[in-house]
Structures are given as C-alpha cells and as structure tokens.
C-alpha cells in the first residue's frame, strides 16, 4: 500500500509517526507528505517548518508545501502539485489537520483500496470529534467551551463537503473537568494515531464499513478568533471557566484590569451569591483572584502579565498586587480575526 500523508501540526505528526512505525511490517510505503508552508514563529519570527515536515524529513520522506491545491486559485503552481501527487502513485491519501481544502480533483487521484461494498477508498481523514458533532476547524476547543461530556476521534471517508463524509471508525473520550484544549489534543492525537493504523489495516483487507453520518446533531466548530479570548464577566462563571480551558493554548483567555491585559491560564467557577457588579474583584490572595460574574464568581489561580511568565496567583500578586473592589473592563468590540 502506497500512502500519501497530508497534515501539519503535532496532532498530525503523531499519526504520521505511527504510520512510519507500522510501514515495514505492513508492507506500506509513504512516498510523499504534504504539509503547510513554513511559518514565522518565535521571538525572531523566523520561518519554521511544521512538525509534520520535520518528521518527514528526519525519515527521508519527500515533502511538498503548496499554498493551495485549487486549480482555480493556484493555476500552474497548483497543477504542478497535482502532478507531483499523481507521480507518487498513492493507493490512499491520509489527512490529519492539514489546513488546506482538498478539492475533488485531488481526492480522485489515489487509485483507492477495494472494500467489501464494492467501492474504492481513496482518502480518509482523522477528525477530532464524534461526527456529526463539531464539524469544522476547532472541534476540540468548541467541545470544551460548550460543556460537552465526551468527544473522540472519527476516521471518516473524505468527501467534497466540510467533514460530511461517511464514518469508518470512531472511539469516544470523556472530557474531564480539568481538560484544556492542549491536554485533550494530546490525548486525542494518540487515539487518532492508533485508529488510523487500525483503519488502514482493515482497509487493506477490504473490511472497512462506511456509515453515513446522522442528519441530526450536526454542529460546526468555527475557527477561533482572537477577540473571543476576552472574558465577559456578565456571563455565568461556569461558562467563563470553560472558556479558559477551551482557549489554552490559543488564544488564551484574558481580562483587563487598569492598564494591564492579564492572560488567564487556570480558573474555576464558584457558586457564590453576590450583588456585586460583574468583573469586580471580590478577593485577591494566595488562594485565588476572585471576580464577580453574571452568575457566581470566577476564581483564577494561574495568570500571566504582559511580557512575563505564567505564575501561580500567589507569585503573581506578590509582584503586582490587585485591590479588592477593582473592576475588570468590559470586552472590547471585535476588530477582526
């Protein structure tokens, strides 16, 4: 089986690593990897290769970094990418958090793996939700933000729509009270790596059964915008606590006290009754920075001042005291992504 892999972040790199490890025993080859172009990162904003590209290069696998695969948008450059993919002669395309839309013409390039139903499987995707819940760009963060009790991995057959293809394999993972997007992504990436190997092993035997996604329960995980990071203390404290967990590591929840924008890394909801204006500091000590919310109060235990490090609340307040009665500013109006 010849596999072309398309992915970009660490979530995808773990899946590629699992395929590389399994390849010798399974008789697989990975002639080509597609990933996003190098992006500026770090304090120096120097171009950095994606985790997937670094892994592929370490194993001597050819990589390509197209800006688009749309022939309409990319013209001759996109056509060259199609030609390179065709030259790799893949049996199947495996996709995980790639970040580029794959047009139907790309999905039709692999020769496909014959399945028991008579169809050929040409492209599969590792999606970090239990479809049809949370189709789209940010399924992990949106699941935490919404208070879902579980999420998971769905291995799906790729189709022209946004995460609308038939489901091949799925496995659930409970969402714990302490899960952040960072920790849940780590857990789901390991599950996705295991399930994609299982899916390809079954596909090689023609033993994958595709199930159409239910029509009911569809939701969309829209891409997270930076302006969403602002904590609106008119909301219920439980919602704010989920927002803090959902936006770790990006864009990181924040609030404004005086002249400082403070990033909030860890917080919990308190079922406290009060008649204080939302955003008012109720307590500021080693136990936590407590602010009144529209319902209850938010207890913050890990913060970060501009240009500083993440600190437990006791250390933060030792260097930058906050007075009881101070009030967080309302969120600014959105100005764009």
Residues 210 and 249 in one domain: no
Residues 13 and 146 in one domain: yes
Give which of 103, 96, 83 is closest to 55, Cα–Cα.
96
Q: Quick check: is 272 in a domain? A: yes
Q: Averaged over 12-24, what is the pLDDT?
A: 98
Residues 24 and 160 in one domain: yes
Residues 144 and 215 in one domain: yes
Residues 26 and 107 in one domain: yes
Looking up residue 266, the CATH number of its domain turns out to be 3.10.25.10
Q: Quick check: is 332 in a domain? A: no
Residue 211 confidence (pLDDT) above 90: yes
Q: Averaged over 279-284, what is the pLDDT?
A: 97
Looking up residue 116, the CATH number of its domain turns out to be 3.40.50.170
Cis peptide before 251 (omega within 30 of 0): yes
Instruction: Measure the CA–CA gap between 179 and 185, rounded to whole angstroms.
Output: 9
Taking the model in full, what pTM does it have? 0.94
Domain termination site, one of 195, 220, 245: 220
Range of the domain at 60: 2-220
Residues 235 and 299 in one domain: yes
Residues 300 and 315 in one domain: yes
- Give residue for tokens 């406290």: 272
Q: Quick check: is 324 in a domain? A: no
Residues 53 and 83 in one domain: yes
Q: Give just the sign of the alpha carbon dihedral 323, 324, 326, 329.
A: positive
Q: Quick check: is 331 in a domain? A: no
Residue 142 confidence (pLDDT) above 60: yes
Q: Quick check: is 330 in a domain? A: no
Residues 207 and 270 in one domain: no
Q: Averaged over 1-20, what is the pLDDT?
A: 98
Instruction: Measure the CA–CA gap between 10 and 181, rounded to whole angstroms.
Output: 13
Percent above pLDDT 90 for the chain: 90
Give the total number of structural domains in the chain. Answer: 2
Per-residue confidence (pLDDT) for residue 293, from 0 to 100: 98
Residues 169 and 39 in one domain: yes
Residues 182 and 80 in one domain: yes
Residue 37 confidence (pLDDT) above 80: yes
Q: Quick check: is 253 in a domain? A: yes
Give which of 204, 191, 200 is closest to 168, Cα–Cα.
200
Residue 285 confidence (pLDDT) above 90: yes
Instruction: Note the pLDDT tens digit of each residue in 91-140.
Output: 999 999 999 999 999 999 999 999 887 789 999 999 999 999 999 999 99
Q: Quick check: is 53 in a domain? A: yes
Instruction: Measure the CA–CA gap between 313 and 288, rounded to whole angstroms.
Output: 6
Q: Quick check: is 335 in a domain? A: no
Residues 27 and 172 in one domain: yes
Residue 80 confidence (pLDDT) above 70: yes
């Amino acid at each position: 089986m010849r596999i072309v892999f398309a992915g970009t972040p660490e979530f995808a790199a773990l899946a590629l690593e699992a395929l590389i490890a399994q390849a010798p025993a399974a008789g697989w080859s990975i002639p080509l990897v597609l990933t996003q172009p190098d992006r500026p990162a770090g304090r120096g904003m120097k171009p950095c290769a994606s985790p997937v590209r670094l892994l592929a290069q370490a194993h001597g696998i050819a990589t390509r970094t197209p800006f688009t695969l749309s022939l309409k948008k990319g013209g001759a450059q996109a056509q060259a990418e199609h030609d390179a993919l065709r030259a790799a002669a893949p049996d199947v395309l495996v996709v995980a958090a790639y970040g580029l839309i794959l047009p139907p013409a790309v999905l039709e390039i692999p020769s496909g793996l014959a399945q028991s139903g008579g169809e050929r499987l040409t492209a599969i995707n590792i999606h970090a939700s239990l479809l049809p819940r949370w189709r789209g760009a940010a399924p992990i963060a949106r699941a935490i933000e919404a208070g879902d009790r579980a999420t998971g991995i769905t291995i799906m057959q790729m189709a022209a729509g946004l995460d609308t293809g038939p489901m091949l394999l799925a496995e659930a993972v409970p969402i714990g009270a302490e899960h952040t997007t960072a920790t849940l992504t780590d857990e789901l990436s390991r599950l996705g790596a295991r399930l994609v190997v299982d899916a390809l092993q079954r596909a090689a035997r023609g033993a994958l059964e595709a199930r159409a996604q239910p029509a009911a329960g569809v939701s969309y995980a829209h891409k997270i915008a930076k302006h969403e990071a602002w904590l609106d203390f008119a909301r219920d404290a439980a919602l704010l606590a989920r927002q803090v967990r959902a936006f770790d590591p990006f864009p990181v929840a924040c609030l404004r006290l005086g002249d400082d924008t403070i990033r909030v890394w860890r917080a919990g909801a308190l079922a406290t009754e009060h008649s204080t204006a939302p955003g008012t500091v109720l307590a500021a000590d080693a136990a936590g920075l407590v602010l009144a919310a529209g319902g209850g109060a938010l207890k913050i235990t890990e913060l970060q001042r501009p240009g500083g490090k993440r600190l437990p609340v006791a250390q933060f307040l030792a260097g930058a005291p906050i007075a009881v009665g101070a009030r967080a500013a309302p969120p600014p109006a959105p100005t764009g992504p």
